[in-house]
Structure 1
């Protein structure tokens, strides 16, 4: 962990009970840090709190529906009152639905937007309510390659992620105008092996899967925590697929439209039929009292990558630049001789 992380005493992580949020909590946890864990599911929250305590940190699990601003505001005030000034707020929480757009009911689309977009807006607002009065703090928005490139069967999710980028860019301009020392950055992820593919509402005929290549959530967590330590950058891209997707969409968006129209349905489904009893967390958590702790990982561990050279280079950009400069210098020196 960098020097910046050692200065973080109080952190808030939304969506902390599972998936990338859970992996981020584990990456952050250390002696001396207090982490407020915000999510809906009690079982997952309690397990995440135990992860923090096992690492020597202090945990405060709080059941919160991120779509309800009053709940988010009350949670933020409780953190300030009981743990102290919030140094870091990481927005991760989301829900969604796998289905063609015309098979998504209006109320389901609205619920996705309320959780996955407005939840970030509400979390950011509460964080700023506390941070701006002290003129310090960091907000990390966990985004996706799909914030720049929409794909079929995920219109609600892609719409929310696109909205987060626009909102965050607007906010960043306002903070710069105010000469604020509060920092906001984004971390955009590739396909992750998280439990979402087993608990999101799905109307697909076969079990949903992330578009390969797939990465373990710890790959994301390392970059999220690095962004918290060095929030001066606008955004971090995690994984070569994220970089290729974002750059490719800037260069040949029409070609990607046609390619995804042909392949996007098949690549997001396994050959296993959907379990008719599969839970769905759009309206209610699937890890309520007495439920199952789903943890950080999904069902695709045997196909998932545990490391990303691109993500390492992104986190250590100065080292990368120095290495390239050294290589060029060496080549030039060799050619002179």
Structure 2
């Protein structure tokens, strides 16, 4: 089991907004040296200032995760200026909200290159630093959509499915090599992040996550815990994630029909979308514009706790208590015979 033994070198991709921003803050509060990888320079500067203010040591690096050479160069800078990475968190992504028939081939390719190959590129760079030392942790930030595709998000769902398969394959290879490296994945629920205001959308109305909606700070808590406890192959955050993945295992056909009936309306608000608003598919919207921060427009009252996360973190203890309670109930029943 991995644990934090003092300040570490942590890399967070997609660090300027949403889950990445909240995760960078969480590592900064521990005093870690945090490399921030993202495209938007204004967002990077704001995130860097936050990391420093919270007690961490920031290194902002403008990086397009789809560019393997750029990611490799960023990893070299990290090693030179902060030291080799102890923890690498792959989180950066982009997407398009639209029916598949309305997504251009180059747009679908771009989402795949950023969201899937960005994780591949980040993982390759992390391994290059970690393998020679025989230690290190890679955290892949996933989604319930890594297992269950939904309408209007085919490029994102496809990329998350690919990340899941890639991670499983790599985990087996590391085990075969008896490597001291750890790789784990955190599957997230719907979150209150700015992505719904900067992702390209061809929907008539504004995009919204499917309720229940959780705050990105809760995701950051799960990610930092996974970084310290990477012996678990996966963490599921949120009861909605558990319900979705279990339903997909038990009755996928029924779930197909349910999502076909409800998935379009559930992902749109009553407000009309502005078709001319900036989108971050090709260029960062926080490159010269506003800093979006971690939370989106869905209000401060979204869920900021998850009993399921606690159960996931304490699975062994819960299993022992459950077994003991079951044994006690059995003995009591036998005693009444």
TM-score bracket for the superposition, by shorter chain length: over 0.9
Match in the other structure for 2:154: 155
For residues 69-125 of structure 1, give each alpha carbon's deviation from its aligned partner in whole angstroms, at most 9, with x where no partner exists. 011000001100111121000000000000000000000000000000000000000
1:42 Cα deviation after fit: 1.1
Match in the other structure for 2:197: 198
Match in the other structure for 2:272: 273
What secondary structure is seen at the aligned counterpart in 1 of 2:293?
A: coil
Structure 1: gaps (5+ residues): none
Match in the other structure for 2:44: 45
How far apart, in 1, do the equivalents of 2:78 and 2:303 lie? 35
Q: Does the C-alpha gap of structure 1 residues 197 and 247 become closer, same or farther in structure 2, counting only changes over 3 Å?
A: same
What TM-score do the two structures reach when normalised by structure 1? 0.95
Match in the other structure for 1:22: 21
1:302 Cα deviation after fit: 4.9
1:311 Cα deviation after fit: 1.1
What secondary structure is seen at the aligned counterpart in 1 of 2:271?
A: strand
Q: 2:292 aligns with which of 274, 294, 303?
A: 294
Q: How many residues align?
A: 335
Q: Does the C-alpha gap of structure 1 residues 254 and 31 become closer, same or farther in structure 2, counting only changes over 3 Å?
A: closer
What secondary structure is seen at the aligned counterpart in 1 of 2:206?
A: strand
Match in the other structure for 1:84: 83
What TM-score do the two structures reach when normalised by structure 2? 0.95
Structure 2: gaps (5+ residues): none
How far apart, in 1, do the equivalents of 2:307 and 2:251 lie? 25
1:31 Cα deviation after fit: 5.3
The answer (yes or no) to whether the contact 1:216–1:301 under 8 Å persists in 2 is no
Match in the other structure for 1:93: 92
How far apart, in 1, do the equivalents of 2:283 and 2:304 lie? 31
Match in the other structure for 2:305: 307
Say if 2:272 is the partner of 1:248: no
CA RMSD of aligned residues (A): 1.6
